Each structure stands twice: as C-alpha cells, then as structure tokens.
Amino acid sequence: MIISVASGKGGTGKTTVATNLALSIENAQFIDCDVEEPNANVFLKAKIKDSKNVLVIVPDVDKNKCDYCGKCSEFCMYNAIAVVPSNVLVFPDLCHSCKGCELVCPRDAINWQKRSVGKIEHGQKNGIDFYHGLLNIGEIMAIPVIKALKKLVDPAKDVILDAPPGTSCPVIETIGGSDYCVLVTEPTAFGLHDLKLAVEVVKRLSISFGVIINCDGIGDNRVDDFCNEQKIPILLKIPHSMEIAQLYSKGIPFIDGIPEWDKKFKDLYKTIKKEKGK
Amino acid sequence: MKQLTVISGKGGTGKTSITAAFASLAKNAVFADCDVDAADLHLILKPKIIKTMQFHGLKRAVVDKDTCIDCKKCYDHCVFGAIDEGINIITESCEGCGVCEYVCPVDAIQMVDRDSGYAYLSETRFGPMAHAALNTAEEASGKLVTVVRNNAIELAENNNKNLIIIDGPPGIGCPVIASITDVDLVLIVTEPTLSAIHDLERILGVAKHFDVPAIVCINKYDINIDNTQNIKQYCLKNNIEIVGELPYDVNVTKAMINEKTIVEFSDDDLSKKIKKMWGEIEEILIK
C-alpha cells in the first residue's frame, strides 16, 4: 500500500507523522519527496550508502547548422530559448525538456545535453528502505527530482511518501497514485484554511484520505467540526505537548522518546488499512 | 521603493504571523501574499477586494475526439505522460508545451488557456494588499507569484507607498525564487529545531545564489536553547545578522483565532520584541 503524507500548510507535522509511521511498520519503504527541504533523515538518521544525480535534458544548439530562423523560440512556451540576430541563447533552468524546439527546427540543429538538477540518496535504517531527493540550490523545478523518486516506489512494500507543503505541482506529483493520503493539520485558523485546500486536491485526484490533528489543544474545534461535517475520518490526534516539541527540536522521533506512541502509530496503520478497505 | 520578503525554507516557522505583525507596524507599506499555494495572510489582514483578475498559467491541451484518427503520435511525443493510450488528456500532468498540437496530423488538438486562479488588489486596515488564489491542482505558482509582485508594485506606485512587505512561500524552488528575485532584503524566520536549521542552511544558499541580502529571526528561541546557540554561531560565522529572538508565546495562536495581528492582540514581551525587531529592519532597509 502506498500512503502519502501531505498538509497544505507547512510545519504541521508531516515529517513527524511520516517518520513515526515508517518506523512502526515492518519492512517499509520510506521516500521523502520534499526535495526542496527534505527533513525525514534528520529524524531517521539512515546512513546514506549511495547517491545518484537526477539528470534532465536541455537543448544544445549546433551553431554551424542554425540559421537563426527563430522557430524554436517562437514555439517554446517556457521562454527557455531565445534567438537574436546572430545567436541562440538557451536558459537551461526554464527548460521543461519537452523537445518541441527539436521538432520545429527545420535544420536539425538541436542536440541534447544532460544537466543535473538534484540528487537522490539511498540508505537503510531498522529495516526501512529509505530514499530522499535534494533539489540543487538555485534550481527552479522540483518535479524532475520527485519524478525520479517516484520511479523507485516498490509496490510490493508498504510505501510511505513524505510530501512537500502546499497544494500545487510538487504535491500533486508526490501524492498522485497513492492508495491513501494522510493530511496533517493543526487546529488553528491557518491549519483549517489550508486543510480545506488540501482536501480539494486529494478529492480531485480521487485518493482516499483521512486527517491527523497535530498540536491538538492549541487552538479551537473548527477542524474537528469541519471533518465531522464533511465526514472525513480523524485518524489520530497528537496533543500539543512541550515534551513532543522538544524531542522534535532534537531530531528524535517521538515514538522512540515516548514508547506508548509506538502502539498508537501501529494502530494508525491498521486504521488506514481499514479505511482504505471501506 | 524597497521590497522585503519573509521566507523560511521550512514551513510553519511563523512567517505569516510575523509578516502580519509587520503590517500593523509599517507606516507606509503595501503587503503581498506570495504563498499562493496556501495563502493565509488574508485571514489576519481581512482584505476588502477591490479588483479581481483572472490568472491563466500554462496552457492545456484538449482533444477533439471526432477529428482524432487515433494515430497516437501525440501519445508517443508527450514527455509528461499527460496523454493516455486512449488519447485522453490528463490535465494534472499537462505542462502546456504544445508538442501534441504540433505533431497532430489532423489538427485534433488545441492548446487552450487554463483558468489557473485569481489575483486580487485589495484594501486592508493597514494599507493596500496584493494577493491571489491558485485553483485546485493548478500549476505555475511561480508565474502567479510574479503577477502578485507586479500588482504590489503598481499598488505602491499608485498610493505613494515606499515599501512592499512580501509573505513568501516555504521551500527553495520556483515560487520562492520568484518571491525573492530583485528584493532589497529577505528576512528568514527560523526556529531552534534540527529540521529548521537544516532548511536554514539551504535557504541561505538560495539567497546567496540570487545575491539577495539576508537577515535571520529565531522564532520560539526558548524551545531549545542549545539549538538557538548553534544558529547564532552559524550566523556569526557566516556574517549574517540576527535581528530578533522571539519567545514561544501562546498569544500567537490566540491572536490568529481572533483574526488580529499579535501586536494588535497583546502588548506582551513577544509584541515588544517584534516592535524592536521591526525598528531594526526599517533601519537596515533605509541604509
């Protein structure tokens, strides 16, 4: 089963939930898809054994063949290629690698070269097969790194995907194809507002989902009310607690710091399986 | 005119609460919410929308099934996996490149505008505001950030404002880069957790890459004093000024629930520290 953990609002506890859930399942595969700011391994502490660059292709114009007709730049939707009277400029970080420029070039002047936009690292810890992606600093597009991570999903295993915050392309790329999505929120005005946006996204993608309320007790009951009205299952509540916050600040998964939570996360997994079966 | 962007790398460190507090302290500013994926600043600033503009992101492909001869050329050429074998467009995966339209031998595919969201020009109790809402499962949030920033500049020019305060998105990718390019200063809000420190190093790298001066504020500094010391040492070593150390305070959530800025809601220690920090930021901006 592929379980993704997402949120809308950042900092609600996605990585906390994903890490503790992965640790409480036997033989899980755990993939941190928040390639802009991956934090799962701050908690998991898997020793990284291998690393691989994520490569994308960008046009490499053969200036001997090019006659500066401008058809490529006219076609490119991303302004990634510009033609001036006697030169062609390629802006690699804007290129989506669609190959349109090659198709429209009448002189076959477009070749392709590879460039690295990030890397994927792999390690193991306590039986967990762990991967995360790192977008290179200054790089715009996270999608190719997330796509490369998603190719590593092993459907024979229980797979936990830690999603980035937000509701747009990197989130959709991460949670697309999941069997179940856990939305982590907090009982505040911001938490509720962004939860509603996240609910719209998972509904659009037709993914079964439930909610975890983190920092329960910090705010008001409007998240509870919303979930009840919408008949969204509340899978778990994690109390607002200084002990949990301090363990978090030190990078300690709180099922290790507070052992009774190990059972709660094992139960969470059972609840998700049951909800998915409905 | 000066521009300040509040960012964090890691989400949930307090960007929006701090930006809202600045809004109630700044004397002559425009506010812009560039976290267009999950915009929250409006929940506190309660803008009255004056003008709504439709936003079209990338285009999307549509197939005319009556004209389609099922040659599958589009399917073969789409690098985004946005066309299935039955020649249906998977809109969520379409990046609008136009290759399918180009290769179709019978003109059965058209690229059309997507209604990707809305941009708003508004008025708040503290001054004008530019913001936006991205439609469900839409892309091009970086492009929408640029629209919001241009709207903010227009609002500032039309209202003789000399400062734009931008609430930025989390992360380090496209929308963040669109939020910080060509601004005068970024304030990075961090917290003393190992995750936030990890993310701080990456976001500082991005600011440096784009040559934008950065200053740091440590929020909830008292939840882990050792980590706070580590952040201070790291910033000292890298010559980055720390403009504020803010205590953990339950009033932040209470103020949010009451739809007020923390400065409006309370005059406690945290409010005083934010006021002092704002004074220092204003001085840095004038320099």
Q: What is the pLDDT of residues B53-62, one digit of tens each?
A: 999 998 999 9
Q: For chain A, how far is it from start to end, CA to CA, in angstroms?
A: 14
Give the confidence band of B136 by pLDDT, cuts at 50, 70, 90: confident
Q: Quick check: B76 contacting A, CB < 8 Å?
A: no
As annotated, the residues of chain A forming the CATH 3.40.50.300 domain(s) are 2-54+120-277
Interface contact A193-B40, CB threshold 8 A: yes
CA angle A68, A72, A74 (to 5 degrees): 100
**Cα A236 to Cα B140, B151, B256, distances in angstroms:** 34, 42, 24
* Residue appearing with tokens 């290790």: A256
What pLDDT is stored for residue B139 in this prediction? 78
Work out the number of other CB atoms within 10 angstroms of the CB of residue A141: 22
Give this complex's ipTM: 0.93
In chain A, ranges of CATH 3.30.70.20 domains: 55-116
pLDDT at B18: 98
CATH topology of domain B2-55+118-286: Rossmann fold (3.40.50)
| Range B36-46 average pLDDT | 96
The per-residue pLDDT for A31 is: 98
- pLDDT of B138 strictly over 90: no
Share of chain B above pLDDT 90, in %: 94
For the beta carbon of residue A114, count every other beta carbon within 10 angstroms: 10
Looking at the predicted structure, is the pLDDT value of residue B258 above 80? yes
Residue B230 contacts A where some CB pair is shorter than 8 Å? no
> In chain B, which among 157-186 make CB contacts under 8 A with chain A?
169-177
Among the CATH numbers 3.30.830.10, 3.30.70.20, 2.40.30.40, 3.40.250.10, which is that of A55-116? 3.30.70.20
Tell me the Ramachandran region of residue B259: left when phi exceeds 0, alpha when psi lies from -120 to 50, beta otherwise. Answer: left
Query: From the CA of B160, how many Å to the nearest CA of chain A?
Result: 31
| Residue A263 phi, psi dihedral angles, 5° rounding | -65, -40
Tell me the per-residue pLDDT of B217-257, one tens digit each, with 9 for 90 and over.
999 999 999 999 999 999 999 999 999 999 999 999 999 99
B56 touches chain A (CB under 8 A): no
B37 part of contact set with chain A, CB < 8 Å: yes
Task: State residue A86's pLDDT score.
Answer: 86
Indicate if the pLDDT at residue B12 is higher than 90: yes
Q: Where in chain B is the domain with CATH 3.40.50.300?
A: 2-55+118-286
With beta carbons less than 8 A apart as the criterion, state whether B199 and A37 touch: yes
pLDDT values of chain A reduced to their tens digit, one per residue, 278 residues = 999 999 999 999 999 999 999 999 999 999 999 999 999 999 999 999 999 999 999 999 999 999 999 999 999 999 999 998 889 999 999 999 999 999 999 999 999 999 999 999 999 999 999 999 999 999 999 999 999 999 999 989 999 999 999 998 999 999 999 999 999 999 999 999 999 999 999 999 999 999 999 999 999 999 999 999 999 999 999 999 999 999 999 999 999 989 899 999 999 999 999 998 87
The fold for domain A2-54+120-277 equals Rossmann fold (3.40.50)
Cα distance between residue A241 and residue B245, in whole Å:
22
What beta strand segments (E) does chain A contain? 2-6, 29-32, 47-61, 81-84, 87-90, 110-125, 128-135, 159-162, 180-185, 208-216, 234-239
| Domain B60-112 top-level CATH class | alpha beta
